[in-house]
Structure 1
């Protein structure tokens, strides 16, 4: 997220009696312009009690454009690291700068909500938890990915820019699909094709990015796949987290894409998108600089 260069950083403090304008550009190309305001926010605690937080700053958008919008969203809530994000503002009142979310699968009935927890009680613990350090960064939540296992084969990740045998990956629930740099996307697709039934007719869809798709909505049960993160963490993925069905077009597509020429992140970085985070409790502990993953049925969580 970038602030608009047209608004001086000290405008609101220099002119405290005037309306405080804002302008933001998000990584995916969305924009929002308007004025800042404050409001009282009411949350429900895990015990069912109401928690009231006063003077929470938010942006009252007068002009907002989101390329991936379905036009039914009421707005965007900020979970970033910066002081103005919702998570940062409420941290002193909820027991720490940490939160976790459990996203329901993509094809879930829209009436069924995903869950999010803030502060105390948002910790991800118990059997099956995989944790990895967060890379210091002002705007994104970034981890280091060392590779993928596809079936019985390990596909190591490496950077084309540095000498590292791993790459940075942005954890982004605002991006539907997962993204890998071209040199790694090609290796993953090659390994995937070795494991799939030859009867599955595959083809590439290329618009703003490249996707591997199949002339069937039947999602393969094999191969098993997992992501390997720094520190030895291995996140096992379900087929529903790796393939996306499109019943209208009678096709299914692999959930990892190759970015277009104008990617939302650096060319040598990846994005761990929302579909792969589905049915997984993902916790961000910003006080400890750690992110944790735990397989969870988010429909009943």
Structure 2
């Protein structure tokens, strides 16, 4: 081949040779999914005990989050959120090192513990060692994603320090690495994923994982970096679940009816969170007599309701919960009793507790979507104590639609259309 023709051909091929494989929804087969496992599921706790442990975690971060809302309303807050409750598996590096991390719709940074670990919690898998990976690269101060860190430092690399509202934290440096996702049936690797290499870390109560995978709308989240516009998750009653990227055949097979959606609202002060437009609540036959403004996202960034898989149950503002409690109790043919387990409305179990619980229906009225919850999604039984409790609580100015109310529902986020759907599903029976 003449040299001139060879050089011309080389110029044509160079962009292809130098380009790196891209990860996108169009490259995924329908049903590309991950298994999820609740952080407490491996301990054989009852559903009641898992919820009780989750409530303890919830209360700490809700208190701290409300303090931050009050003090930072007029400032765009850094990513300061609670950790989630479900673990997913992924691999990092070349060769790939597998580990589990918390799937968290309330934060954006993807991070794991790294050697040399100056302060690290115990994890079940080997700590990631950058020196053993041929695809590892430090992020520079000028990297675009480094500039997204509101609290980064250092004149050379890109250091970070994140604190979470449950008093957990991670400190380290931003780096780029090849991330491998998927299981035995389908694996996809993509290079240059920004992640936090944590060398000082503390996550309260975490013993089954090695970090956090952020799934909110922030620029550092895994969704944003992989350009994923649609994802869904399904949490079963037994503490397991599934997470799906892109379109899912399970959605098509779940129902032949038109899928109803409700808008995902964006808070200009906290644009990464997934806000819902809750308009009211019906208990039994009674629509709660509270102002519609009780659930509204205000122009100053306060109020509203977020949907979060990492919060154990649903919390609503105290003034609304104070109305809901007597209305719910008046329609429940059980004796109200006091309990110290962290739930505000409990009843004495009937002696014939094999029969169906006689409790009122609970319907959340979102914009364009009325969601009637199954009884098992808002009532929790402890046969040992002989009680049954409403799995909802009061919070400060922010309401949260938590994971117990999501159970056995396919929760589909469409970020392009800015909507979310709730599709009743037997999550443990999904076939991908």
Query: Fold match, TM over 0.5?
Result: yes
Checking the alignment, whether the CA contact within 8 Å between 2:333 and 2:358 is kept in structure 1 is no
- Whose helix proportion is higher, 1 or 2? 2
Matched residues in 2 for 1:256 and 1:177: separation? 6
Q: Which has the larger radius of gyration?
A: 2
| Cross-structure match for 1:133 | 263
Pairing partner for 1:34 from 154, 166, 172: 172
Report the CA distance between 1:139 and its aligned residue. Answer: 2.1
| Cross-structure match for 2:429 | 300
Pairing partner for 1:57 from 191, 194, 206: 194
Checking the alignment, whether the CA contact within 8 Å between 2:373 and 2:405 is kept in structure 1 is yes
SS in 2 for 1:223: coil
Matched residues in 1 for 2:243 and 2:296: separation? 36
- Whose strand proportion is higher, 1 or 2? 1
Checking the alignment, whether the CA contact within 8 Å between 2:329 and 2:336 is kept in structure 1 is no
Report the CA distance between 1:176 and its aligned residue. Answer: 0.2
Report the CA distance between 1:11 and its aligned residue. Answer: 7.9
SS in 2 for 1:117: strand
Matched residues in 2 for 1:118 and 1:242: separation? 28
SS in 2 for 1:76: strand
Q: 1:44 to 1:72 in 2, by over 3 A?
A: closer
| Within-5 A mapping of 1:258-297 | 258-259=394-395, 267-297=396-426
Q: Does 2:250 match 1:174?
A: no
Superposition CA RMSD, Å:
3.3
| Within-5 A mapping of 1:58-97 | 58-67=195-204, 69-91=205-227, 96-97=228-229
Q: 1:144 to 1:161 in 2, by over 3 A?
A: closer
Report the CA distance between 1:287 and its aligned residue. Answer: 1.0
Report the CA distance between 1:87 and its aligned residue. Answer: 0.9
Q: Does 2:163 match 1:25?
A: yes
SS in 1 for 2:345: strand
Q: 1:183 to 1:3 in 2, by over 3 A?
A: closer
SS in 2 for 1:189: helix
User: Unaligned stretches of 5+ in structure 2?
Assistant: 1-76, 81-138, 144-152
| Cross-structure match for 2:241 | 114
TM-score between the two structures when normalised by the length of structure 2: 0.56
| Cross-structure match for 2:365 | 228
Checking the alignment, whether the CA contact within 8 Å between 1:148 and 1:156 is kept in structure 2 is no
Checking the alignment, whether the CA contact within 8 Å between 2:363 and 2:370 is kept in structure 1 is yes
Report the CA distance between 1:185 and its aligned residue. Answer: 0.4
| Within-5 A mapping of 1:122-271 | 124=251, 126=255, 127=257, 129-137=259-267, 138-158=271-291, 159=293, 168-198=304-334, 200-203=335-338, 205=340, 211-216=344-349, 220-231=357-368, 233-246=369-382, 249-259=385-395, 267-271=396-400
Pairing partner for 2:232 from 83, 100, 108: 100
Matched residues in 2 for 1:123 and 1:87: separation? 20
Matched residues in 2 for 1:24 and 1:64: separation? 10
Q: 1:49 to 1:71 in 2, by over 3 A?
A: closer
Number of aligned positions between the proteins: 272
Checking the alignment, whether the CA contact within 8 Å between 2:263 and 2:276 is kept in structure 1 is yes
SS in 1 for 2:322: helix
Matched residues in 1 for 2:154 and 2:338: separation? 58
SS in 1 for 2:244: strand
Report the CA distance between 1:144 and its aligned residue. Answer: 1.1
